[in-house]
Amino acid sequence: MKNSDENSTNVKASFPCDKCDQTFGSRQELKEHGRSAHQLL
């Protein structure tokens, strides 16, 4: 019997900041980071 984890696609999106080395789990987190850390609109 196979483990159910083997059958599921466990790919997490990664959104890297092009101004620094941080990565975020969602586009919204990246956008908020850009506003607060880099004063982007």
Say if residues 23 and 16 touch (Cβ distance below 8 Å). Answer: yes
Let me know if residue 26 belongs to a domain.
Answer: yes
pLDDT of residue 5: 53
pLDDT of residue 19: 95
Let me know if residue 31 belongs to a domain.
Answer: yes
Structure tokens at 30: 């990246």
Residue type (1 letter), 36: S
Domains in the chain: how many in total? 1
Let me know if residue 32 belongs to a domain.
Answer: yes
Let me know if residue 25 belongs to a domain.
Answer: yes
Say if residues 14 and 29 touch (Cβ distance below 8 Å). Answer: no
pLDDT of residue 9: 64
Let me know if residue 7 belongs to a domain.
Answer: no
Range of the domain at 27: 12-38
Let me know if residue 29 belongs to a domain.
Answer: yes
Report pLDDT digits (tens) over 1-41.
555 555 556 677 899 999 999 999 999 999 999 999 999 77
pLDDT of residue 12: 75
Let me know if residue 6 belongs to a domain.
Answer: no
